[in-house]
Amino acid sequence: MKDLYSVLGVSKDAEPATIKKAFKTLARKFHPDVNKASEATERFKEITAAYEVLGDEQKRAFYDEFGEASLRSGFDANQARAYKNMGGGFGGGGAPGGGQGYPFPGGAGGGFGFEDLFSGLFTRGAGGAAGAGARAPGGRSQRAGPDVEAQVEIPFLDAVRGAELPLQVRRPAPCGTCKGEGGKGRRTCAACGGAGRRPLRQFGLNALVQCEECGGGGVVYAEECETCGGTGRIRDTVILNVRIPAGVESGQTLRLRGQGGEGSGGGPAGDFLLTIKVQDHPLLRRKGKDLEMDLPVRLAEAIGGAAVEVPTPTGRVRVKVPPGSGNGRRLRVAGRGVQDRAVPGDLYLVLRPVLPATTDEETVALAEQLDGRGPEADVRAHLEL
């Protein structure tokens, strides 16, 4: 199946107005009543089917997220999402961009820039709420704002310490120019009688397709709003300051209430759902609330003991390396792990004595002297299988 965006010739991040305009232009051009070319009917079918999805905020968001799988009958977004979070893929991958799963920006470790927060944003309709727009007595529709979903990759230490991150997001909002009305001189679409769909003989008996005059909305305007193309909605770019709680883990979703798409006609705003991916760290490993880091020590420090300074997520500390510390010995630094507000985790330092880099005769002779000093002269005595 062809990618629906390419059927309408629009980009994946196109505004609702652009999509509607593309549909109307193409639908008029290929309408079987007008266009008698043999392939016109087939094209018209494709165009109306594509717009049926892309012209609807919720269907479009599901398509963006799950691709072609979202178009199957009986598709359940929650089930699909749970499956996806478990690492499953979707068959028939028609998702624009070819990918199923989240488009997390790559490049873990090291440089993390503001721009890393910008990618992979899309919106999702707010369950039944968005679809169930009730008409207010004034003729203006009251709609709840849709939920907005996004994924963000955060640096390891932000997950350990908690952070506040500025996140640039696009979320649906009522058009400011027409205040969500779509234009001036609103009247019922004559072509479809306000139904938004009309029968088309060529598709077989009783086939209904999106009305190409009103784009499925059932209304037209004497003066259509230029900003939103009569859809009454735009995609607004805003910066949200997102509080990342300490201890957040990859795959967790934060729900920011009322930060999603703005409602129209007095409807409530949707929520903002942010799925977190935590980047790896080149030095630190995390096990629940505890952290682990290798700590290189010189031979003299390992054998004789020492006090060494080490960095931790909450500043440098001095740590006592006990005398006779072998490779792999673990030292606990209390409270320097994940900065959970109730009980912070600990940081474990794994001692890694470093051999001298030189292999000259003198060094080898010194090492032989050292080897002869303890009871461990035969270090492989215990190796019996």
Contact residues toward Zn ion (CB under 5 A) are 175, 177-178, 189, 191-192, 211, 213-214, 225, 227-228
Query: 305's torsion region: left (phi>0), alpha (psi -120 to 50) or beta?
Result: left
CB of 175 to Zn ion, least distance (A): 3
| Phi, psi dihedrals of residue 155, rounded to the nearest 5° | -65, 150
Q: How far is the first Cα of the chain from the last one, in angstroms, to the nearest whole number?
A: 61
CB of 270 to Zn ion, least distance (A): 19
Which residue, 77, 83, 283, 57, is CA-closest to 170? Answer: 57
Taking residue 208's Cβ as centre, other Cβ atoms within 10 Å add up to: 14
CB of 265 to Zn ion, least distance (A): 14
> How far is residue 307's CA from residue 321's CA, in Å, rounded to a whole number?
6
Question: Is 349:319 a contact under the CB 8 Å cutoff?
Answer: yes
> How far is residue 75's CA from residue 66's CA, in Å, rounded to a whole number?
10
Q: Report the residue number, 233 or 281, with the smaller CB distance to Zn ion.
A: 233
Q: Report the residue number, 146 or 313, with the smaller CB distance to Zn ion.
A: 146
CB of 187 to Zn ion, least distance (A): 11
Query: 218's torsion region: left (phi>0), alpha (psi -120 to 50) or beta?
Result: left
Q: Report the residue number, 214 or 349, with the smaller CB distance to Zn ion.
A: 214
DSSP state string for 2-38: --HHHHHT--TT--HHHHHHHHHHHHHHH-TTT--ST
Q: Report the residue number, 71 or 189, with the smaller CB distance to Zn ion.
A: 189
CB of 235 to Zn ion, least distance (A): 12
CB of 198 to Zn ion, least distance (A): 7
Residue 203 to residues 4, 209, 235, 315: CA-CA distances in angstroms?
20, 9, 34, 70
Helices and strands (DSSP H and E) totals, the chain: 9, 18
Question: Is 224:183 a contact under the CB 8 Å cutoff?
Answer: yes
Q: Report the residue number, 201 or 320, with the smaller CB distance to Zn ion.
A: 201
Taking residue 242's Cβ as centre, other Cβ atoms within 10 Å add up to: 21
CB of 200 to Zn ion, least distance (A): 13
CB of 61 to Zn ion, least distance (A): 21
Which residue, 147, 157, 154, is CA-closest to 117? Answer: 154
CB of 221 to Zn ion, least distance (A): 10
Residue 108 to residues 155, 243, 280, 286: CA-CA distances in angstroms?
8, 21, 6, 15
Tokens 């499953």 belong to which residue? Answer: 88
CB of 171 to Zn ion, least distance (A): 16
Q: Report the residue number, 213 or 301, with the smaller CB distance to Zn ion.
A: 213
Q: Report the residue number, 69 or 211, with the smaller CB distance to Zn ion.
A: 211
> How far is residue 117's CA from residue 244's CA, in Å, rounded to a whole number?
13
Q: Report the residue number, 228 or 295, with the smaller CB distance to Zn ion.
A: 228
Q: Report the residue number, 228 or 240, with the smaller CB distance to Zn ion.
A: 228
Q: Report the residue number, 54 or 71, with the smaller CB distance to Zn ion.
A: 54
Which residue, 16, 5, 231, 265, is CA-closest to 123? Answer: 16
